[in-house]
């Protein structure tokens, strides 16, 4: 029975991995190294601003270890969702790091770069074909025009094409998470169900082990009937529980995981412990469907200023909601000529994490307050936040005893300009074909 060994060194490029675990993983002679480099989890800022949420030095550290080992062994290195969000700015940022390492280590290789950006004119011309992904309004021309970057999530097909073109390193834009781990397997004719399910788990590396970690190595060995997973750090082990639980991770349906062109169907999947640290998975299937790509876009909505404060007065805490509403009213009254702002309070110690979903809304003996002002310019946000902070600091609530101030402010200056604020405005599907994404070959070194 033919087999394919896949190494996932870390959950996201730049999260790091122990050198010892990496050396142990290489001892299993992997046929490919795959690594996911991004996610929508950190929020819309990074896509909207065109910057990475992972640190450059950390990404370079990981690549400086991965790149020479892949080239020395003659195995492909596949990187998905480059630069964190996968737009052309992120792709260029990640490519620059790779070329820098190649120059420093005197490496030469053929690299494929696969952009994931959507042309706005193309999207506007096909607006009526888009479908909201979730309980969202239909996509509008305004959404498209206001988005700073728009990317689409590619599947495994452009990676296969890049491998067919002889690429030794593949740097992809926004990518369906399992794709970089499954591309070589699918090129070689392995079944889609097991290949993509293994990729779904490997994309988070050792998070699927016990104890879980996003910065440690995981090996997947694929065959024609299923796959086997195990970590290479002796402090961790895969269990039926940890692997099955990770198969449910980030899914709206426990059995189905949709992607471009189809969905993983796990209704008949079986998990079996085959050694102290390894789990065997069989029965995963793939259901074909019409090909569609998920698009993501973010737009600028303003600029943010924050103040962090603490409160310990039980009389103040008991009236906190009423006090904050009075402060909101004072801000509205003072800036009645400027309605282009938003003001929010996050109260930690009083539903600050879950908000209205909190099942135990009991205040503690102290609470932390984050004042957040968002306005059209940084100066306006600074002004709104400053006025709100001083009003709350000296607000005369009922039963007040001390008049020196209601807030404990841990920082000076107390108001922290946080810069641009973005929101997701595109999270929609667009019918397409697998050849929508075009690899570009570049010679490095």
Q: Which residues face 373 on adjacent strands?
A: 305, 343
185-228 pLDDT per residue, tens: 999 999 999 999 999 999 999 999 999 999 999 999 999 999 99
Please report where in the chains the tokens 């979730």 appear, as a residue.
134
Say whether both 398 and 436 belong to one domain.
no
Say whether both 367 and 269 belong to one domain.
no
Say whether both 22 and 130 belong to one domain.
yes
Say whether both 27 and 115 belong to one domain.
yes
- Spell out the SS3 assignment of the chain: CCCEEEEECCCCCCCCCCHHHHHHHHCCCCCEEEEECCCCCCCCHHHHHCCCCCCHHHHHHHHHHHHHHHHHHCCCEEEECHHHCCCHHHHHHHHHHHHHHHHHHCCCEEEEEECCECCHHHHHHCHHHCEECCCCCCCCHHHHHHEEEEEECECCHHHHHHHHCCCCEEEECCECCCHHHHHHHHHCCCCHHHHHHHHHHHCCHHHHCECCCCCCCEEEEECCCEEEEEECCCCCECCHHHHHHHHCCCCCCCCEEEECCEEEECCCCEEEECCCCCEEEECCEEEECCCEEEEEEEEEEEEEEEEEEEECCHHHHHCHHHHHHHHHHHHHHHCCCCCCEEEEEEEECCCCCCHHHCCCCCCCCCEEEEEEEEECCHHHHHHHHHHHHHHHHCCCCCCCCCCCCCCECCCCCCEEEEEEEEEEEEEEEEECCHHHCCCEEEEEC
Say whether both 374 and 432 belong to one domain.
no
Domain boundaries, position 61? 4-296+426-444
Say whether both 117 and 198 belong to one domain.
yes
Say whether both 397 and 436 belong to one domain.
no
pLDDT at residue 358 in the model: 79
Contacts of 49 (CB under 8 A, 6+ apart): 148, 420, 422
In a domain, 266, yes or no: yes
Number of domains in the chain: 2
In a domain, 48, yes or no: yes
In a domain, 341, yes or no: yes
Separation of CA 55 from chain center: 14
Q: Which of 149, 142, 86 is nearest to 114 (CA)?
A: 86
pLDDT at residue 356 in the model: 79
Q: Which of 338, 342, 334, 315 is nearest to 390 (CA)?
A: 334
In a domain, 305, yes or no: no
In a domain, 303, yes or no: no
Say whether both 331 and 271 belong to one domain.
no
Residue ranges for the chain with pLDDT beneath 70: none
- In whole angstroms, give the CA distance from residue 226 to residue 194: 5
pLDDT at residue 355 in the model: 77
In a domain, 304, yes or no: no
């Amino acid at each position: 029975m033919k087999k394919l060994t896949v190494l996932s060194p870390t959950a996201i490029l730049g999260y790091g991995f122990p050198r010892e675990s990496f050396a142990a993983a290489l001892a299993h002679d992997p046929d490919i190294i795959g690594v996911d480099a991004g996610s929508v989890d950190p929020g819309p800022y990074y896509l909207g601003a065109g910057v990475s949420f992972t640190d450059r030095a950390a990404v370079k550290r990981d690549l400086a270890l991965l790149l020479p080992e892949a080239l020395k062994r003659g195995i492909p290195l596949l990187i998905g969702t480059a630069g964190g969000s996968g737009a052309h700015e992120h792709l260029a940022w990640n490519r620059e790091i790779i070329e820098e390492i190649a120059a420093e280590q005197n490496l030469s290789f053929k690299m494929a770069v696969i952009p994931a950006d959507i042309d706005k004119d193309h999207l506007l011309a096909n607006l009526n074909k888009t479908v909201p992904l979730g309980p969202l309004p239909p996509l509008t021309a305004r959404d498209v025009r206001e988005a700073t970057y728009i990317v689409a999530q590619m599947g495994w097909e452009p990676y296969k094409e890049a491998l067919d073109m002889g690429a030794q390193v593949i740097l992809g834009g926004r990518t369906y998470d399992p794709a970089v781990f499954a591309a070589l397997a699918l090129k070689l004719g392995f079944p889609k169900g097991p290949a993509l399910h293994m990729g779904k788990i490997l994309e988070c590396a050792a998070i699927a082990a016990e104890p879980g970690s996003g910065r440690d190595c995981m090996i997947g060995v694929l065959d024609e009937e299923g796959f086997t997973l195990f970590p290479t750090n002796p402090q961790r082990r895969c269990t039926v529980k940890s692997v099955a639980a990770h198969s449910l991770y980030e899914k709206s349906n426990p059995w189905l995981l949709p992607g471009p062109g189809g969905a993983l169907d796990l209704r008949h999947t079986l998990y079996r412990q085959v050694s102290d640290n390894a789990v065997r998975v069989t029965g995963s299937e793939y259901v074909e469907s019409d090909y569609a790509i998920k698009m993501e876009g973010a737009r600028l909505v303003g600029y943010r200023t924050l103040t962090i404060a603490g409160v310990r007065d039980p009389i103040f805490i008991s009236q906190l909601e009423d006090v904050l509403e009075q402060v909101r009213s004072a801000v509205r009254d003072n800036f009645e000529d400027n309605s282009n702002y938003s003001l929010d309070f996050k109260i930690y110690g009083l539903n600050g994490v879950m908000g209205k979903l909190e099942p135990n809304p009991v205040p503690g003996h102290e609470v932390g307050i984050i004042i957040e002002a968002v306005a059209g310019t940084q100066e306006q946000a600074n002004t709104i936040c400053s006025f709100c902070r001083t009003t709350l600091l000296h607000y005369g609530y009922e039963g007040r005893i001390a008049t020196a101030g209601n807030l404990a402010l841990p920082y000076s200056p107390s108001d922290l300009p946080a810069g641009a604020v973005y929101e997701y405005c595109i999270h929609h599907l667009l019918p397409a074909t697998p050849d929508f994404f075009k690899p570009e070959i570049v010679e490095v070194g």
